[in-house]
Amino acid sequence: MTISSELVYVERAGNDSATEFSFPFVIFSATEIEVTHFDADGVDTPLVLGSGTSNYTVTVTTYPGSCLITYPASGSGTLATGESLLIRRNTQAVQPASLRNQGGMHPQTI
């Protein structure tokens, strides 16, 4: 398997109007990312996935595709200029299949 990108986080700046923020890495579930809000003074606050004025939601498109964070999840607020969101991929780096060197390759294993 090849790894096309080692990018694990992106930062999106506020502009007083945007409520949807994209990120370029692929996820398969909304729980595979963490979002942190930074205010204008640089104070960080971890956000919670779900509905609410200080929470965010995630739209996961089909693979491979782009995904969107909606912040805030509800209400009429926006991300102000000077504030930012740090979107970080939080996935397990596991390989559940045991592949032997110089062994037989069985497609059903992969």
pLDDT in tens, 22-66: 888 878 788 888 999 999 999 999 999 987 777 999 988 766 666
Cβ proximity of 87 and 33 under 8 Å: yes
Q: What are phi and psi of 98, to 5 degrees?
A: -95, 115
CA distances from 91 to 29, 53, 79 (A): 10, 26, 26
Q: What is the mean pLDDT of residues 1-22?
A: 80
